[in-house]
């Protein structure tokens, strides 16, 4: 950006006096000019990598129109600070170096005068800087779950594996920790544990709208014409309508080019979250698209990812129907212990989850390349099945091209009932731990999906802090200490044999009396999770809750694997045959595990607790 000389600054001041405009020269590399009660110009007057934007979350959104050499480059929605600055976010301006950069800001707040508008906190807090401080300021930021460094995150998108690297894209607002400006953020990992975040969004909003959810795949045959082994992303462009668009990458997902022929698929009704994969049997691309308000999935095929043919519909009147259908995934897996294979259709919906809000349901069935047909139960009905019985597991989709035939999934670890209100501000939301999907046949003869922690997660273990081979459990609680290092994050493994007890209670607690109760009900064959007294729960009436999962067992011994992070607990039972994921916000880390039984004596065996690196 060109610097304004002292002479030009004098001329601006004189012109202001003559025209009556209200100018405030803010310094910090910017000049602020107030045109009216709701319209302000912010001119960048020095070079730097970032323009730092001050945010106040309780304020209304302002439209920030970014003009480069007089042309509109992009429009952002930012909650610019009015009475105080909660945090700041960076606008990368490095690519505009040597050009005239102007922000035309339109606010929606009512102002009685320009003088009143000038008092907003934002105008004196715009700063041009070569750095942006991403040091963590959040006590509840997870220690080993993926999060954005700053800003809002929801659905995982466009996940793929290539050349030893896991690529996770996600719905991201780089300009605030509330939902808006949806783009694709991008992180990479060699091991599903350590994540490197890209500085900027890899796919940004454009004239077709914000960038909603979608998928990515490796085009090994160059069917789309973008190059052999190009990464092709398909996503929903969302504005007045929801339409499907393409982008491709020839540098392993580091940057994407938008297809100039976008959109490639349009409907006259709301449809989103395209999930595509190459079908080796039919030698064409298959696409599953959520027909959101019609509560169904649409299945298309294509030779080149550009021309799509509708082949069938699935889902009307089946499964959970109380909310919109979103974020589908379709894949084939072997059934444990057999030579049989079945197809799994993941269907995320909101609301309508088993305990309110958002959740992931799934269907087991057969797919012939054009039509998915769901299995039925003994009564001839299509049963509703849930992938996770907690409140905080949504938008679950899998990595394409995962190695060794693995079906590795990651979900969004929150719930639309309260996601914007959870007690963090620098960032909002984390992803679940990566999980491996499998199939098993239950005692009722039906086939169910299991979710086991990905094998890479064993590398998280640090010190074995407790190793108990066998312990009798009665009505008097037996207490074990949890590790104190790293804010108490840990992994717990335990075999629970109820013996003649009716229930076995496992309680996590801290010195403030905050607790989580997990109760194994032997006769009901369920495990419940009570977080009503878990810590901070008053930010939403929907947060205090009890979730309950069937154990799919025989009422005898269950094996638990529990991952505790700073703001979440994930419980995997019997090698992933049942799972519960729930957020918690304790004021101090849980420090004790207490176990007791009701109406009989139980036994706890092979209890191990590992601290987390």
CA distance 359 to 350: 7
- State both tokens at 460: 């998280």
Residues facing 55 on adjacent strands: 80, 87
Burial 537-558 (b: 16+ CB within 10 A, else e): beeeebbebebbbbbbbeeebb
- Name the helix (H) or strand (E) containing 385: strand 385-386
Q: Which of 427, 423, 431, 370 is nearest to 395 (CA)?
A: 431
Query: Three-state SS string across 455-520, please?
Result: HHHHHHEEEEEEEEEEEEECCCCEEEECCCHHHHCEEEEEEEECCCCCEEEEEEECCCCCEEEEEE
Place of tokens 């940004």: 204
Q: Is the peptide bond before 305 cis (omega within 30 degrees of 0)?
A: no
CA distance 352 to 370: 28
CA distance 188 to 197: 7
Q: Which of 253, 250, 254, 262 is nearest to 225 (CA)?
A: 250
Q: Which of 175, 59, 65, 62 is nearest to 108 (CA)?
A: 62
Residue 17 phi/psi, 5-degree rounding, is -65, -35
Q: Which of 155, 329, 392, 574 is catalytic?
A: 155
Torsion of CA 275, 280, 281, 283, to 10 degrees: 80
CA 86 to chain centre: 23
Question: Has 155 been annotated as catalytic?
Answer: yes
What DSSP string runs through 539-582? T-TTSS-EEEEE--S-SS-EEEEEEEETTEEEEEETTTTEEEEE
Q: Which residues are CB-neighbours of 315 under 8 A, at least 6 positions away?
A: 295, 296, 297, 325, 347, 363
Residues facing 296 on adjacent strands: 291
Catalytic residues: 155
């Amino acid at each position: 950006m060109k610097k304004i000389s002292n002479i030009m600054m004098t001329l601006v001041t004189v012109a202001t006096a003559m025209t009556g405009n209200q100018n405030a020269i803010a310094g910090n590399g910017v000049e602020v000019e107030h045109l009216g009660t709701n319209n302000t110009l912010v001119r960048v007057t020095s070079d730097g990598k970032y323009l730092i934007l001050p945010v106040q979350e309780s304020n209304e959104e302002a439209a920030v129109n970014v003009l480069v050499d007089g042309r509109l480059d992009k429009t952002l929605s930012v909650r610019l600070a009015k009475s105080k600055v909660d945090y700041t976010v960076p606008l990368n301006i490095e690519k505009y170096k040597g050009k005239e950069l102007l922000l035309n800001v339109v606010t929606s707040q009512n102002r009685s005068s320009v003088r009143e508008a000038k008092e907003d906190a934002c105008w004196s807090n715009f700063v041009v800087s070569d750095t942006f401080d991403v040091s963590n300021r959040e006590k509840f930021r997870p220690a080993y779950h993926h999060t954005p460094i700053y800003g809002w995150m929801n659905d995982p998108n466009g996940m793929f594996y290539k050349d030893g690297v896991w690529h996770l894209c996600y719905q991201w607002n780089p300009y605030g920790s509330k939902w808006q400006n949806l783009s694709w953020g991008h992180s990479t990992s060699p091991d599903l544990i350590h994540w490197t975040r890209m500085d900027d969004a890899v796919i940004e909003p454009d004239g077709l709208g914000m960038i909603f959810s979608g998928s990515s795949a490796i085009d090994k045959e160059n069917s789309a014409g973008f190059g052999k082994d190009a990464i092709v992303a398909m996503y929903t462009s969302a504005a007045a309508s929801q339409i499907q668009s393409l982008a491709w990458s020839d540098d392993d997902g580091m940057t994407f080019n938008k297809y100039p022929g976008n959109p490639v698929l349009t409907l006259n009704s709301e449809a989103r979250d395209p999930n595509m994969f190459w079908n080796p049997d039919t030698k064409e691309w298959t696409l599953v698209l959520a027909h959101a308000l019609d509560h169904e999935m649409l299945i298309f095929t294509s030779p080149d990812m550009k021309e799509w043919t509708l082949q069938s519909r699935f889902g009307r009147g089946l499964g959970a129907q109380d909310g919109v259908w979103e974020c589908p995934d379709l894949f084939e897996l072997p059934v444990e212990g057999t030579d049989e294979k079945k197809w799994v259709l993941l269907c995320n919906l909101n609301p309508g989850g088993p305990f309110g809000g958002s959740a992931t349901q799934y269907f087991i069935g057969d797919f012939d390349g054009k039509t998915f047909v769901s299995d039925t139960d003994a009564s001839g009905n299509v049963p509703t099945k849930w992938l996770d019985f907690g409140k905080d597991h949504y938008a679950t989709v899998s990595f394409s091209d995962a190695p060794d035939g693995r079906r590795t999934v990651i979900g969004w670890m929150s719930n639309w009932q309260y996601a914007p209100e959870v007690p963090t501000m620098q960032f909002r939301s984390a992803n679940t731990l990566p999980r491996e999907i499998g199939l098993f046949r239950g005692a009722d003869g039906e086939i169910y999906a299991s979710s086991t922690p990905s094998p890479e997660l064993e590398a998280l273990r640090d010190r074995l802090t407790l190793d108990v081979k066998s312990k009798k459990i009665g009505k008097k609680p037996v207490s074990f200490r949890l590790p104190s290092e790293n804010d108490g994050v840990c992994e717990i493994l335990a075999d629970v044999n109820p013996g003649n007890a009716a229930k076995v209670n496992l309680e996590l607690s801290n010195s403030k009396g905050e607790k989580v109760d997990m109760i194994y009900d032997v006769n009901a064959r369920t495990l419940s999770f009570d977080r009503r007294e878990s810590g901070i729960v008053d930010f939403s009436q929907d947060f205090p809750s009890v979730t309950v999962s069937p154990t799919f067992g025989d009422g005898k011994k269950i094996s638990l694997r529990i991952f505790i992070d700073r703001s979440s607990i994930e419980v995997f039972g019997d090698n992933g045959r049942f799972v519960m994921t729930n957020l918690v916000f304790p004021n101090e880390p849980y420090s004790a595990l207490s176990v007791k039984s009701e109406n009989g004596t139980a036994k706890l065996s092979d209890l191990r607790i590992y601290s987390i690196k």
